[in-house]
Amino acid sequence: MTKAQLIEEAQPYCDSSFTAPPDPTKFYTAWNSMKTLAQKDLVYEHGRPLRRYALTEEGWEVAKRIQKTLPGANQNALSFGAQS
């Protein structure tokens, strides 16, 4: 999925904004966390000029483990190989 698609889907689940820093004197937004996820091989990016992002296999495993901790979560909501 593209950065814009990812932000649209993820923003409702984030405490921080993807587009505006919480403190006007800071330059970091929630999007900066993508670098950490990529460094830990949980997501990968591909394509130029339009970058696309997807979970790696390990990223899917982490997402599934997180989902299992959520009360009332639909255990079948995540499926490997979903649209990227």
Is 82 within the bounds of a domain?
no
Distance between alpha carbon 71 and the CA centroid of its chain, in Å?
20
Q: Tokens at residue 7, please?
A: 């932000």
Is 80 within the bounds of a domain?
no
Domain count of the fold of the chain: 1
pTM score, whole prediction? 0.73
Is 84 within the bounds of a domain?
no
Is 20 within the bounds of a domain?
yes
Is 38 within the bounds of a domain?
yes
Q: Please, which residues have CB within 8 angstroms of residue 64's CB and are 6 or more apart in sequence?
A: 78
Q: What are 52's strand-pairing partners?
A: 2, 46
Q: Which domain holds residue 50?
A: 3-69
Give pLDDT tens digits for 20-60: 888 888 888 999 999 999 999 999 999 999 999 999 999 99
The length of the chain is 84
